[in-house]
Amino acid sequence: MSNTYQKAIENSNIVSKTDINGIITFVNDEFCKISGYSYDELIGQNHNIVRHPDIHTSNFQNLWNTILSKKSYKATVKNLTKDKKTVYLNTTITPILDDNENIIEFIAIRYDVTAEVELKKRLEQKEKELEELNQNLELKVKEQTKQLKELNKTLEQRVIEEVKKNEEKQKLLFWQSRMASLGQMLANIAHQWRQPLTELNLTLFNMKKASLNHNEKKIEDFYKQSKNLISSMSITIEDFTNFFNPLKQKKNFEIKNAIIKSLTILKKTIEQENIKIKVDVPIKYKVLGMSNELSQVMINLIQNAKDAFIQNNIQNKEIFITLKEEQISNKKYALLEIKDNAGGIKDENIDKIFEPYFTTKHKSQGTGLGLFMSKMIVEKSLEGEINHKNCDDGSVFTITIYLDEKE
């Protein structure tokens, strides 16, 4: 049984024996195989023949102290083979005693754990590399974060500068649009005054004739007619002056009143071009802003429709102005719709109509600022939005403005 057990150990493990001085007295085939030495090369040699030079002598001092005290020594030992390869052996060295408890030899039983140790070393190396990589990554993240913060700071400054430039540009566009509108207004004043001036001239001529004939009643009648004509012209001037007053404060106003004012200003143009305007706007809708600015938007839209009627040679010219209420996200809004039958806007131009200086008219007829200014007024002053779509025979502009329910 003992011999069978011994053979089993020798066949499955790496086994060697030494005397009490460490001289090899026995090795099995597995020991020869892993060490690279033959049996004859090993017998009679000191066991340090397979010692690895990396191992400090203090380790072996500890080994000898343990086994000479008649205790087993267990450790993973790094050895060097004949062909200078490193192997790792899980080793147990046990002292063999005689009947008097004296050490007569040592037996060492080992098994190869080189693959496991190398794997562990590779894993440790990978962990180290990962840790270094992580540290480098953290440094890179910190560096990138710093760069991004600096870039963000620079970007913020650039945004501030660009916003400032944009604001200045918008102010310039605003005043250019104002000047263009002023030109339109002066043309409208000329329209408004042309007929009254003709009538006034005729009335003054008749007054002169009545004076020569000493007809006091006719003189009085002509005087009243002249006074009424001059009063009407004065009201026209006052309307246009108020329209361009920059110091007016925002207040609640009736949408219908703003529409009526725009139609009054454009009255002669509408009559001259034979444009039929149908207005379906209730009185009850008030919004916060400046009435004259909404009037200016209406004038721009009606003037554009008028120009389109002429350009497209439309005979039956119609503009429909309607107002209805709509609830959006529990808030009430006024939807002001201006619809014409002037042929609409070409598909390739629809996305450009609110851009500054974009126009399909001849340079002598338009600046390309009317719709841009209208959008600015609706969005900035009235805090609403303006949209366009083509209908069957023309255009529909929809202005959406929040209704002030406090009034």
- Whether 140 is covered by a domain: the verdict is no
Which structural domain range is residue 353 located in? 248-402
Among candidate residues 82, 112, 142, the one where a domain is terminated: 112
- Whether 407 is covered by a domain: the verdict is no
- Whether 130 is covered by a domain: the verdict is no
Please tell me the distance from the alpha carbon of residue 142 to that of residue 66, in angstroms, as a whole number: 53
Among candidate residues 85, 112, 139, the one where a domain is terminated: 112
- Whether 41 is covered by a domain: the verdict is yes
pLDDT along the chain (407 residues), means of 10: 58 87 92 93 93 86 91 92 93 92 92 90 85 81 82 78 70 59 56 57 73 76 71 59 60 88 82 91 83 84 90 92 87 91 88 77 60 83 90 92 72
Counting every residue, how long is the chain? 407
CATH number of 256's domain: 3.30.565.10
- Whether 221 is covered by a domain: the verdict is no
Total number of domains in the chain: 2
Residues 253 and 398 reside in one and the same domain: yes
Among candidate residues 77, 112, 147, the one where a domain is terminated: 112
Whether residue 373 contacts residue 181, with contact meaning beta carbons closer than 8 Å, is answered with yes
CATH number of 73's domain: 3.30.450.20
* Total-model pTM: 0.46
3-state secondary structure the chain: CHHHHHHHHHHHCEEEEECCCCEEEEECHHHHHHHCCCHHHHCCCEHHHHECCCCCHHHHHHHHHHHHCCCCEEEEEEEECCCCCEEEEEEEEEEEECCCCCEEEEEEEEEECHHHHHHHHHHHHHHHHHHHHHHHHHHHHHHHHHHHHHHHHHHHHHHHHHHHHHHHHHHHHHHHHHHHHHHHHHHHHHHHHHHHHHHHHHHHHHHHHHHHCCCHHHHHHHHHHHHHHHHHHHHHHHHHHHHCCCCCCCEEEEHHHHHHHHHHHCHHHHHHCCCEEEEECCCCCEEEECHHHHHHHHHHHHHHHHHHHHHCCCCCCEEEEEEEEEEECCEEEEEEEEEECCCCCCHHHHHHCCCCCCCCCCCCCCCCCHHHHHHHHHHHHCCCEEEEEECCCCEEEEEEEECCCCC
- Whether 236 is covered by a domain: the verdict is no
Structure confidence at residue 1 (pLDDT): 40
Structure confidence at residue 176 (pLDDT): 57
- Whether 104 is covered by a domain: the verdict is yes
User: Would you call 294 exposed, middle or buried from its count of C-beta atoms within 10 A (0-12, 13-18, 19+)?
Assistant: buried
| Helix 291-311 and helix 216-243, axial crossing angle in degrees, nearest 10 | 100
Residue 400 contacts by C-beta under 8 Å, 6 or more apart in sequence? 326, 333, 334, 335, 336, 384, 385, 386, 387
Residue 43 contacts by C-beta under 8 Å, 6 or more apart in sequence? 24, 25, 26, 27
Residue 150 contacts by C-beta under 8 Å, 6 or more apart in sequence? none
- Whether 256 is covered by a domain: the verdict is yes
**Nearest one of 189, 314, 285 to 243, comparing CA atoms:** 189
* Rg of the chain over all Cα atoms, to the nearest angstrom: 53
